[in-house]
Structure 1
């Protein structure tokens, strides 16, 4: 890779499928040709070096009249969680969003691939195709008998977060609360523990980002796979309930796991505020802390593109080179940049999935 081309970035989390599902333009065309909305489409990703990542399937809650943006500009806040969702409509949305990614793959004529192995990712990066991982963020679309899990696995599912922040039949998520410990309530249910065991059997990566602390430790006891939080930051720097304590980071390190640094400003800033006037230096403070506590082989990117307010200095996928350059100025050498930008994600997925 020459310095004239952007550093490839493999990313731990995005919500572009939800944005496309809600959009007015035909989704495959909007993504592949570019709609210049939100943070991601294929033309902007190519320009910024976005080489691949986890594409989240997330079932949104019905609007409850809560102005979340206004709440998260207060010095302290505790955003009310939506009610649990019903299975049947959640399954419809889950299938719809998974199908969107498969249709984008088909329409791309080889430019996008839903990856099922680490070798798939490496092959995509070698030829400049987008390496997409089908990921579930909140398992509301999965039934208690886990039949849907088997179907989704055959469709390409290789990563799953049992909960988003609202509770479901599998466990309890962590609320959007500042300041707060991540220890906010009960963890996994008995069904949730069965889901973890099933994912272990299938070698589906487990994402701990939205689990509360008790759920985190429940997973740690049940799994022999690396512990991974795809889009989370350091609680020691920003004491938000969504961020990870140093004790959690130590467990991730011991498991040879991974943390993707979240670009969402409310999880970056020491004051917990949602504001795009957040500096890249504030993000890099989290990287330094995570490297110190997890190790340089266990930290990567977890942008939350199309799902969060991100720093204006990044803006959208085209701004990734500005973040990489800020990391370079900070003192990260080229070998470290490669690890943080893409190598660590591929390595942890190979340890989780097998070759």
Structure 2
């Protein structure tokens, strides 16, 4: 599966898709993005994953219409928490921020069950794609949300990280 995923990532580049045989291969394979910053957009008032957005307008790079058009089957939705002050208060804020991003991803899944599904293992992916849903692997970009309490990793794990 890993080799297949790497092949899919390579084929997702614009110059590879110019060739019709590459386009046909792209459509037959499962294509995942290894790092989606889209959860940052989910906090924006009025921002809707099911609507088309433009990078020039809101810096968004991924939404459901563009995923469908580009043949993107899903990917790794990042919980990104910028490093703040290295104090007890800063670590607490990072923890709260990380949990809020996790909640937004889970809310996305709950609000759009026909469009998105949580994948916990690579084995979940083919069934999700076969149902016409987009794959959501939850990932964490750095460990800032765990700085206040590393045991919180269990909470993230239980929620699908």
Q: TM-score, normalised by structure 2?
A: 0.71
Residue 32 of structure 1 aligns to a residue in which SS?
Answer: coil
Task: Name the structure where helix makes up a greater proportion of residues.
Answer: 2
Looking at structure 1, the residues matched to 78 and 159 of structure 2 have their Cα atoms a distance apart, in angstroms, of 14
Partner residue, 1:20: 42
Deviation of 1:128 (Å): 2.0
Partner residue, 1:118: 122
The gaps in structure 1 that reach 5 residues or longer are: 63-82, 158-355
| Deviations 1:265-295 (CA, angstroms, capped at 9, x unpaired) | xxxxxxxxxxxxxxxxxxxxxxxxxxxxxxx
Residue 95 of structure 1 aligns to a residue in which SS?
Answer: helix
Looking at structure 1, the residues matched to 149 and 91 of structure 2 have their Cα atoms a distance apart, in angstroms, of 12
Preserved contact between residue 6 and residue 49 of structure 1 (Cα < 8 Å)? yes
Residue 144 of structure 2 aligns to a residue in which SS?
Answer: coil
Looking at structure 2, the residues matched to 104 and 32 of structure 1 have their Cα atoms a distance apart, in angstroms, of 10
In the alignment, structure 1 residue 127 sits paired with structure 2 residue 131: yes
In the alignment, structure 1 residue 35 sits paired with structure 2 residue 62: no
Question: Deviation above 6 Å: which 4+ runs of structure 1?
Answer: none
Matched positions, count? 132
Partner residue, 1:93: 97
Looking at structure 1, the residues matched to 117 and 31 of structure 2 have their Cα atoms a distance apart, in angstroms, of 16
Looking at structure 2, the residues matched to 10 and 4 of structure 1 have their Cα atoms a distance apart, in angstroms, of 14
Deviation of 1:143 (Å): 4.1
In the alignment, structure 1 residue 147 sits paired with structure 2 residue 151: yes
Change in Cα spacing, 1:153 to 1:4, as seen in structure 2 (3 Å) is closer
| Deviations 1:87-112 (CA, angstroms, capped at 9, x unpaired) | 11111111111111111111112320
Deviation of 1:145 (Å): 4.9
Which protein is bigger by CA-based radius of gyration? Answer: 1
Looking at structure 2, the residues matched to 5 and 56 of structure 1 have their Cα atoms a distance apart, in angstroms, of 24
Residue 77 of structure 2 aligns to a residue in which SS?
Answer: strand
Preserved contact between residue 32 and residue 104 of structure 1 (Cα < 8 Å)? no
The gaps in structure 2 that reach 5 residues or longer are: 1-22
Looking at structure 1, the residues matched to 45 and 148 of structure 2 have their Cα atoms a distance apart, in angstroms, of 34
